[in-house]
Structure 1
Amino acid sequence: MITEHLITDAAALSALYPAPVARALGKESPVLTPGYVELLAAAPFCIVATHGPAGIDCSPRGDPPGFVQVLDERTLLLPDRRGNNRLDTLRNLLHDPAIALIFLIPGMGEAVRVRGTAVISTDPDLLERCRIQGVLPATVLVVSVDCVYFQCQRALLRSGLWDPAAQVDRSTLPSTGRLQQELGQFTAAQAAEYDATLADYAAATLYEGPTKA
């Protein structure tokens, strides 16, 4: 890497980009306005970013639309379902309560970004609010909102994320079994067996059951 091309200070960075327009800076809100409440109610997917001793981590979360509930204009409730049990997000929050979320709504170009802090709760009443198919989440994250704003649609337009023509045939990409084989976890035969049963296993254990990850 040629170090003379590295940007190492804010002044050099600012010189490369035009100043943001006032509305880009002014669109941040310290509370969830009624419009944002409606958007979150329509979101079936979000990405959760946290920070821990090993660095920054991002993790996907998804459930039926509205799975992240608005308790009030400053508080969100995010269920944590049983998954691979690595607990990266939760362990990070024990180290540093800072959290950031990006919500995506299929067909909508804008994303909703939320920053704040979170605590991990096993409050029975909060768990009950997140029951799906008779199953409670293991824990819930209670997120205190510091800032919410929408991200313009350029990224999703450029990526063609919601364009059906952009969908990739999964069989043309490395399978999860192959990825684990390359890490020495599986033999070729084990990878093939894993891939052959993964879809049925995932469907059967979507909200409960042992982990296959």
Structure 2
Amino acid sequence: MTDPFVIDTPEKLAAAYEPPHPRFLAKVTDRLEATSVAFIAASPFCILATSGSRGPHATPRGDAPGFVVPLDERTLALPDRRGNNRLDGLHDILENPEVALLFLIPGVGETLRVQGSARITADPALRARFAVDGKEPATVLLVAVREVYAHCAKSILRAQLWGGRERPPGVPTNGQMIAAHSAGGRIDPEQYEAEYQARIRAQMY
């Protein structure tokens, strides 16, 4: 018997939700501009999403803020620090280079999503660049950036993930990131931020 409530087509999915505001569809960029670089520099933690023949994997990656380094506006370098050596994500990348990164900053509701393709390198100069206490990572992941997207704070606020922790100074606001990422038309970052703060609390559920 077919379950009439199962959503199994794009049409059924679209019928279950209101269409996205055009502003949300436009707030994507294809490079690491200044606000993205600043956000990544302040982030001590990200989640690396990969997918291979054994299915998807989401791997936590963390270190001192700025441990992921933009080499240029299209390339991110992520050192592979010591772990359990299962290498699930790296095996996935060998099969399928498509990856996604989700950057988080304690005290900040917004997150930063980066999508692209990755390759693994054991380049001695890069490994040396990421040495900590004289210990180099075995490899460095190089991500060719294709899409950068600032994600709103609703999920973090609903979870009360950071409690009362305050936003660190210098982290760009959502308004600043949206203004920098949006295609077509100028967005005033201060006005957007003020409207965003009011809207997000009114639309939490």
> Which of the five TM-score ranges fits, normalised by the shorter chain?
0.7 to 0.9
Whole-angstrom CA distance in 1 between matches of 2:23 and 2:108: 20
Query: Which residue matches 1:125?
Result: 125
User: Matched residues in 2 for 1:155 and 1:78: separation?
Assistant: 25
Mapping for residues 27-66 of structure 1, pairs under 5 Å:
27-66=27-66
- Taking the aligned partners of 1:133 and 1:22, their CA distance within structure 2 comes to 48
Which consecutive segments of 4 or more residues in structure 1 shift more than 6 A?
none
Partner of 2:69: 69
Equivalent runs, 1:16-165 vs 2, <5 Å: 16-163=16-163
SS of residue paired to 1:13? helix
Tell me the distance in 2 between the aligned counterparts of 1:39 and 1:125.
Answer: 25
C-alpha displacement of 1:164: 5.5
- CA distance in 2: counterparts of 1:46 and 1:2, whole angstroms: 40
Distance 1:155 1:2 in 2: 33
* Structure 2 gap ranges (5+): 166-205
Matches of 1:17 and 1:75 in 2, distance apart? 35
CA–CA distance in structure 2, aligned partners of residues 3 and 56 of structure 1: 27
Task: Write 1 or 2 for the structure with the bigger share of helix.
Answer: 1
**Larger RCO (CA under 8 A, 6+ residues apart):** 2
> TM (normalized to structure 2)?
0.78
Measure the CA separation in 1 of the matches of 2:127 and 2:36: 23
Q: CA RMSD in A?
A: 1.4
Taking structure 1 as the reference length, the TM-score comes to 0.75
Distance in 2 (CA, whole Å) between partners of 1:29 and 1:47 is 20
Q: Secondary structure at the match of 1:70?
A: strand
Q: Per-residue deviation at 1:82?
A: 1.8
Kindly name which structure, 1 or 2, has the bigger radius of gyration based on alpha carbons: 1
Q: Partners of 1:105 and 1:125 in 2: how far apart?
A: 28
Gapped regions of structure 1 (runs ≥ 5): 166-213
Q: How many residues align?
A: 165
